[in-house]
Amino acid sequence: MISWINGELVDLWQTNQKFFALINCQGLGYEIQILESLFLKLKTKQISNKKITLWLKHIKKEDSDLLFGFTSKDQKNFFIEILSIRGVGSQIGMAILNKYSISEVINAIKTQNKKLICSVPGIGQKMSDRLILELKNKFKSEIKYEDNKGKDEFEIMDAKTNKMIEELQLTLQSLNYKNKEIKTILPIIIREIDLLAKNNNNVSFENLLKLAMNYIDKDSSNIAR
């Protein structure tokens, strides 16, 4: 069983709505289907030719072996839970995570937002009902946590910003930054987003990523001294 991989990015390509990365790990090339958000980030100059770590789900079929890669263990586990639902295949699972973050899906389950679930390509009304019913039972603890979240926890009300912050964390993790480092600079990044929004400036993910990496690298240099 392959749980994760750490290697050098060799190539990226897209086939219809599927996104792939070829990773060299100790001389072997692994063809892995990844999420669109990661695919787009890996195409940027700042991230290409870097070593990355992906959590893998291996699906063995009669005529093929498929690998699906994720930047966090939570994404991988969420994908596995989706696949356990009757009638839901790997491409539906990837489509859900391509369109929405985990927190957005869990919130849709909590509020029974069928319209949001049905907006995912390949999901109709019946599958939407089944997803909400079964995932609600699977993610009871997460939904309870969201309901009882303490006031001192930072909460972003704007869904677009919330997703951007989540993707920023996942990207930094894929670049092998430590969780402690990432959590330290998030309040700075959030304040930067608020400042840009107040001045009616566009918030670019690439600029936020550069800013986050600069802050982390700067802090690491200060500690080294």
Residues 131 and 81 in one domain: yes
Q: Would you say residue 104 lies in a domain?
A: yes
Asked if the structure places residue 154 within a domain, the reply is no
- pLDDT at residue 140 in the model: 60
- Whole-number Å distance between alpha carbons of 223 and 148: 36
Domain count, the chain: 3
The domain that contains 91 carries what CATH number? Answer: 1.10.150.20
Give the CA radius of gyration of the chain: 18
Give the helix/strand (H/E) hosting 29: strand 28-34
How much of the chain, in percent, has pLDDT values that exceed 70?
Answer: 81
Q: Which one, of 80, 74, 30, lies nearest residue 52 by Cα? A: 30
Residue 100 pLDDT greater than 70, yes or no: yes
More confident residue, 220 or 35: 35
Segments forming the whole domain that contains residue 168? 159-224
129 and 86 belong to one structural domain: yes
Task: Flag whether pLDDT at 222 surpasses 60.
Answer: no
The residue that leads in pLDDT, 50 or 28, is 28
Top-ranked range on mean pLDDT: pick from 42-51, 64-73, 142-151, 165-174:
64-73
pLDDT of residue 164: 77
pLDDT in tens, 104-141: 888 888 888 889 999 998 899 889 888 888 888 776 64
> pLDDT tier at 46 (50, 70, 90 boundaries)?
low
**Residue 107 confidence (pLDDT):** 85
| 98 falls within a domain | yes
Identify the residue with better confidence: 177 or 146: 177
Residues 109 and 81 in one domain: yes
Task: Note whether 81 and 116 are same-domain residues.
Answer: yes
Q: Which of 44, 70, 96 is the last residue of a domain?
A: 70
**Nearest to residue 165, comparing CAs of 77, 37, 1?**
37
Q: What is the model's pTM?
A: 0.63
Give pLDDT, residue 155: 43
Residue 206 falls within a domain, yes or no? yes
